[in-house]
A = this chain, B = another copy of it.
Amino acid sequence: MSQSGRLFIVGLGPGSRETMTPQAQQAIAGADLVIGYGAYFVGLADLIGDKETIALPLTQEIERAEIAVEQAARGRTVCVISSGDPGVYGMASLVLETAARLSDDERPDLVVVPGVSAVNACASLLGAPLAHDFAVISLSDLLTPWEKIERRLVAAAEADFVIALYNPQSERRNWQYARAQAIFAAHRDDETPVGIVRSAFRPDQQIQLTTIAGMAEAPVDMLSTIIVGNSQTRRFADTLVTPRGYLDSPREKSPAP
């Protein structure tokens, strides 16, 4: 029989408290138990106080989800914290899949609390590169066959999407980023603007403006997000902007709705 537990999967946003929503802060402050990757607890001390916390390292995502679901099913109020938006390469899908194994009676209430996603945070620091249709692709082939990732890179490049890359490179995955760059170079002008942001809204934030030709030489790692412009993206001063087309339209042509 259900004990009416509640399970929140909470997006912390990109890093600083100023970019974390009140809803996320309230969910953490109201929990009995907070579960996450250890580094996520830095800066949350005032919200967490003397609550019970469980910090498990990267690679223990399944364990985090199982403990969270089990504890919430016992009637506790549990928060699983995830950086950025928890629905984008975050903990939300794994926690929901794990909870789906329980019967309707056993399953706790599940609430996904959205956050400012890394792609939006990085874009804001670059200007407005995402202002037209865009595709978000992870280059990690640990859980996805590379052939599928490459098919998506080619499709997005051919159809002139702005493209955001997550998880571009790690110590063990060292050729996928170069392969992605080669696909972009085959479909777009070498001078297409590219922005690379590392640790957005954190103290060690780094921003680099380059091009498809230049991105090959740029140092990237698991903390980097790369945004590759489409055929319309332009560099204005120190910003990247993808126009929506307003300024190319006759003034009398109403652009909305």
Contacts and interface: CB of A to CB of B under 8 A. Distances in A.
Contact of A120 (B88, B93, B156, B247): B88
Contacts of A59: 254-256
The size class of the interface chain A forms with chain B is 35 or more
A241 B93 contact: yes
A243 B161 contact: no
A107 interface: yes
A222 interface: yes
A143 B100 contact: no
A112 interface: yes
A152 B143 contact: no
Contacts of A93: 127-128, 131, 241-244
Contacts of A254: 59, 142
Given A155-B159, A246-B94, A257-B140, A114 B123 contact: yes
Interface string A71-114: 00000000000000111111011101111100010010010111
A144 B124 contact: no
Contacts of A128: 9, 86-87, 92-93, 96, 112
Q: Which 5 A-B pairs have the closest CB atoms?
A: A143-B245, A93-B131, A155-B159, A92-B128, A93-B128
